[in-house]
Amino acid sequence: MKQLTYVTGNKYKIELAKRILTPLGFEILQKKIACPEIQDDDIENVSKYSAKYAAELLKVPVIKNDSGLVVEALNGFPGPYTSYIEDTITEDGILKLMAGERNRNAHFLEVISYCEPGCEPISFVSKTKGYISANKRGEYGWSFDKIFIPCGQDKTLAQYEDDERWEFWSNDAYLNLKNYLEKQDIIKK
């Protein structure tokens, strides 16, 4: 079984990676390290930079995730600054910015970057579409789950327990990573 190190402190990201990659012969190892996070308006650039840093530091192939909430009416804000906004103005601040706004369309953009030591990172993207609710609802999840309603639903993510909530997230990035690894003959089909 080949090992792939996922640089994250988020146990839910590890669970999702294991669901998709373990059946293909990968042992997913979790490593939490402090990676520099560049200031950039593009989530993919942030993810790639961190993945390259981690691969060089750890001297093993890694995957690194970066994600952000993208709100149409706010011109893509908070985007790559989602973590900072979560810690400062929180979902209450986003709701204030959205007061009276009719266009509530939003999506979570998740970028997974794969990098081997000495190589350039390759990125894979997932987009989970939805919209911003008018108020906070729910007791589960974290971050903006209390104000994000996935497409086709009428409840916020925070109104679903962990086992239910994951079915709403796009897995495209993980599936495309799997396809890439298969094509590179890094894993057996």
**What total of structural domains would you count in the chain?**
1
Q: Which residues are marked as active site? A: 66
Burial 87-126 (b: 16+ CB within 10 A, else e): eeeebeebbebbeeeeebebbbbbbbbbbbeeeebbbbbb
Find out whether 32 and 7 touch, Cβ atoms under 8 Å: yes
**Residue 64 backbone dihedrals phi, psi, to 5 degrees:** -135, 135
Answer whether residue 49 is part of any domain.
yes
Answer whether residue 12 is part of any domain.
yes
Answer whether residue 128 is part of any domain.
yes
Domain span including residue 118 = 2-183
Answer whether residue 61 is part of any domain.
yes
Tens digits of residue pLDDT in 39-76 = 999 999 999 999 999 999 999 999 999 999 999 999 99
CATH code where residue 49 lies: 3.90.950.10
How is residue 125 annotated by DSSP?
A: E
Answer whether residue 188 is part of any domain.
no
- pLDDT tens per residue across all 189 residues of the chain: 788 999 999 888 898 899 888 988 889 999 999 998 899 999 999 999 999 999 999 999 999 999 999 999 999 999 999 999 999 999 999 999 999 999 999 999 999 999 999 999 999 999 999 999 999 999 998 889 999 999 999 999 999 998 898 889 999 999 999 899 888 765 444
pTM for this prediction: 0.90
Answer whether residue 92 is part of any domain.
yes
Answer whether residue 189 is part of any domain.
no
